[in-house]
Amino acid sequence: MSDATIAYTQEPTKAKPTVIRLAMIGPWTILIALALAFIAAYAARYFVHFDEATFGPYWPRRPALLLHIGAGIVALLTAPFQFWSGYRRMPMVVHRWTGRVFVGSVTVGSAGALYLAITTTFGWAFGFATMMMNLAWVSTTAMAYYAIRRRLIAVHKEWMVRAYAVTFAFVTIRLFHDVLPTSQLAGAELAITLPWASWALPLLAAELVLQLKQIHNVRRRPA
């Protein structure tokens, strides 16, 4: 072998388990806290105050709205256990059952969402945007389910991250509506922007993290 030929193979440095756990606990704590805050501030009221004033224009379609919100809450709260049971020493039966509950919740919640999108009173643009959000929710979850059925564990993990990013649209849509600069929008601009931004931006962020992780793990090998 010529001296000019250099092997650039580099073994990735393995972080200590404690460091990895701490790196995961922080983001998950923030996500769970935001999900619980959303449930307490926005979602729970529909089950506590069952009246026309609370539901507003959704009052005639309240069964579908309750179905969608209830299933969405279950999906929001079960997915974190799905991730932790898959990566830690919890019994795999926990991972399997939380996965089944998550898939079932998305199935039920998407049915309610589809009905609400078709019967919306906020215009076709809002209805189409919510249908696309629903499609993203179902598609990412279905891909995660199909991957694990084929025993493609790494692919399954990636699609579960994407599915949860879309599930988190329940929370991000309220952040965009009430907290972030998009709260300054009004009328049609607000109704059209929120359904797209609430899932597309979290999904983009999740995809960047997944791809950066893959790039980081690629080993440089000799030619």
List pLDDT tens digits, range 44-89: 999 999 899 999 999 999 999 999 999 999 999 998 877 765 555 5
What are the backbone angles phi and psi of residue 143, rounded to the nearest 5°? -65, -40
Stretch 157-167: mean pLDDT = 94
**CB-based contact 195:129 (threshold 8 Å):** yes
pLDDT at residue number 219? 63
Q: Which helix (H) or strand (E) holds 147?
A: helix 124-149
pLDDT at residue number 29? 82
Query: What tokens appear for 214 in the block?
Result: 């893959």
pLDDT at residue number 27? 77
Which of 2-6, 87-91, 131-135, 211-215 is least confident?
A: 2-6
Mean pLDDT of the chain: 83
Query: In whole angstroms, what is the distance from residue 59 CA to residue 70 CA?
Result: 16
Reduced to 3 states, what is the DSSP secondary structure of residue 27? helix
For residue 42, pLDDT beyond 60: yes
10-24, 132-146, 176-190 — most confident range? 132-146
Q: Which pLDDT band holds residue 149 (cuts at 50, 70, 90)?
A: very high
pTM above 0.75, yes or no: yes
pLDDT above 70 covers a percentage of the chain that reads 82
Type of residue at 110: S
